[in-house]
Amino acid sequence: MAVEAPVAPDTTRVEEPRSAHRVAAGMLDPRQLWKAMPEALRKLDPRTLWRNPVMFVTEVGALLTTVFTIPHPSLFGWLITAWLWLTVVFANLAEAVAESRGRAQADTLRLTRQQTVARRVAGWAEGVPSSAIRAEEIPAALLRRGDVVVVDAGELIPGDGDVVDGVASVDESAITGESAPVIRESGGDRCAVTGGTRVLSDRIVVRIAQDPGESFIDRMIGLVEGAKRQKTPNELALNLLLVALTVIFLMATVTLQPMAIFSKGVMAAAPDTLAITGAGISAVVLVSLLVCLIPTTIGALLSAIGIAGMDRMVQRNVLAMSGRAVEAAGDVHTLLLDKTGTITYGNRQADSFIPVGGTREAELAHAALLSSLADRTPEGRSILDLARRRVGAHAGAEEDGQWVPFSAVTRMSGVDLPSRSLRKGAAASVSAWVHDHGGSVPPELGETVQRASASGGTPLVVAEQTRVLGVIHLKDVVKPGLRERFAEMRRMGIRTVMITGDNPTTARAIAEEAGVDDFLAEATPEDKLALIKKEQEGGRLVAMTGDGTNDAPALAQADVGVAMNTGTSAAKEAGNMVDLDSDPTKIVEIVEIGKQLLITRGALTTFSIANDIAKYFAILPAMFGPIYPGLSRLNVMGLHSPLSAVLSAVVFNAVVIVALIPLALRGVRYRPSSAGTLLARNLWVYGLGGVVVPFAAIKLIDLVVQFIPGI
């Protein structure tokens, strides 16, 4: 037969620009506030608000001031009451806006969840021709895990599953936002399909992997809406701290009334200001003080920060199964990265032909071309391209022969021609094949192979029965910019480890070029799992990516396991994140998002506590200065009166929540640096800012409220 280059489908991945349909992180449209207002008012229900202890206390305080003001109405009392209720509403508004952004994402996803008809196959067996498949039509909602369905071109895939037969082009733009179709085929690590995506060509048979209500889209909708979001351990710990601070300030506020009564009794000449009644400081003033002093700012924004963190993941096409996973990403100490597709492009290209044993380059190129005509891999096509540039476009077309496909056992491929046999593959396998045919290996072959491996390339040896002709040098190019990214990781205290199946020499060369801290060569699934467990023994958190069934144990063991959407269902179920773009380098962005979440929460907590301290020293000197003249020296702002000081603080306490909503949604700007540097920056910017801003803002508000009659 004539030796012709077989036509192979071009599965080379073409990089497409990210879709522009996502909502920009942190952008706050005023219309969002208005749309979220009804939900904020519904959250005033105490049965909902009690989950946020700080704001629940604030709501109780607002209710008490309402009760106290009704029998003794005054402008001051009604103003305080109104602003306390607004404080609670603004806190609910922050959470409602964050949830509404997720709800908008969910509405888009619901459009993909159409009512489809599934063609379920009864008694399907592997090897049955697709033309012989007989199926019954049932509603997709009735499908169960393990059911097998057949999907033709133009039809929607009725549920999540794995392709068990066939190959097809699939439009996944409804899920990933990318317009370019992708290839899904049975076997390998690109067999997973998602319900709601559309088959564009051919026919595939899919085994359903999820029961109703547990599909990928269902889980994604529940998570982005925040309906299933549970508080993370860090949030629970911070909530406990906020409750403790609330109790402390409650005790401090309660002591003020006995102090006022004592002061009035002992210092009879003291001015009768401060809204003092016969029983002491009025309940309205006491409640106002309590609300101003407890950490209402972070209490109001804490939930919104967590929801916004998961929302930022969704905006980057990453589905986090829980807030715990996002937080763990921010605390990662070790990052495990596959070499192929993550650190390198993954498509090794033929770079040069290196003859040995006196062989001419043209002869080696011709033999490489013949032995690669049946090779459908990108590497095989690159060898054909390089060889034809050396010996001519039509070389080999006149030859007859029998193809020898590549096998993982023999680790070589080639062709048997009437006049000779050619093989191409691993050096050890080809050398053994030559010896078996009575030939010998040139002494310089080992050095040539070693030199190609040491440069980070992959050597393939070409031989003709009794003699070795030379080496094909394949190069896997390291992605640009990774060395700088890994340097940033190092500054953050994160250790990067490259995992590869290559030999140690090749692995070391790629690791040095990419700038990773360590590497694991000739890695098996067991080796990956053992490495993760070893890293975790010292209390370190580990993140890794994977897409195959053999990666599932390691993904389940890792603290942050990022499964590729193109991977198997087993991998996606084992991980706690799914990357819809199937971009292995996304794990670096995921770590940065996690760190931004933790930094934002820490920064706003620092700002809130500093706020409380500032408000304490702004209000109390103004209130007690007339009784204790020494305290007047601390009234550095020169507030108009005790009542204006209280009202100004209450107004600021409410307004600052709305002012910080965009920051909570967008997140504090992240700069790769050490934990000590981040802490120092937080203390200077948000600690000092939390002290200075209230002083300035309360003074400005006081200049306005002093014109209110009776204040």
> Which residues are CB-contacts of 122 (< 8 A; sequence separation ≥ 6)?
134, 135, 136
**Does 331 qualify as catalytic in the annotation?**
no
Binding residues for ATP: 375, 379, 406-413, 424
Among residues 297, 163, 194, the alpha carbon closest in space to that of 242 is found at: 297
Other CB atoms within a 10 A radius of the CB of residue 125 amount to 7
Q: Is 434 left (phi over 0), alpha (psi -120 to 50) or beta?
A: alpha
SS3 277: strand
Backbone dihedral angles phi then psi of residue 317, each to the nearest 5 degrees: 60, 40
Output the known binding site: 375, 379, 406-413, 424, 547, 551
Q: What CA–CA distance (Å, rounded) separates 625 from 609?
A: 24
Distance (Å, whole) CA 100 – CA 456? 49
Task: Label the pairing between strands 117-121 and 148-151.
Answer: antiparallel
329, 330, 558, 560, 591 from 587: Cα distances, Å:
9, 11, 13, 9, 6
Q: What share of the chain is helix, strand, coil (3-state, %, to 5)?
A: 50, 15, 35
The partner residues of 499 in beta bridges, in order of sequence, read 338, 520
Report d(CA 152, CA 167) in Å as an integer: 11
| Token pair 């200049």: residue | 703
- The encoded tokens of residue 311 equal 């929302």
What is the distance between the alpha carbons of residues 711 and 436, in angstroms, rounded to a whole number?
103
Most distant CA pair in the chain, distance: 122
Sequence-ordered list of residues with C-beta below 8 angstroms from that of 493, at least 6 positions apart, any chain:
333, 674, 675
**Could you identify the residue written with the tokens 């998602």?**
194
Q: Which of 147, 160, 162, 338 is catalytic?
A: 338
DSSP symbol at 189:
T
Nearest to 348 by CA among 375, 326, 327, 329: 375
CB 35 within 8 A of CB 100: yes
CB 460, CB 426: distance < 8 Å: yes
Alpha helix segments (H runs only) across 499-639: 504-514, 525-536, 552-557, 569-574, 586-624
- Measuring CA to CA, how many Å separate 243 from each of 94, 246, 290, 305? 20, 5, 13, 18
CA 592 – CA 543 distance, rounded (Å) = 12
- Nearest Cα to Cα of residue 173 among 259, 109, 87: 109
Q: Is 114 helix (H, G, I), strand (E, B) or coil?
A: coil
* 431 vs 180: CA distance, rounded Å: 43
Tokens of 366: 């011709």
Beta pairing class for 204-208 and 161-165: antiparallel
Distance CA 192, CA 580 (A): 12
Torsion angle, alpha carbons of 454, 460, 464, 470, to 10: -40
- CB proximity list for 371: less than 8 A, separation 6 or greater: 413, 414, 415, 422, 423, 424, 462
Among the listed residues 348, 334, 335, 336, the one whose alpha carbon sits nearest the alpha carbon of residue 506: 348
**Residue that is written with structure tokens 């080696």 in the block:** 364
End-to-end CA distance of the chain: 103
Tokens of 511: 């690791």
- Would you name the residues annotated as active-site residues? 338
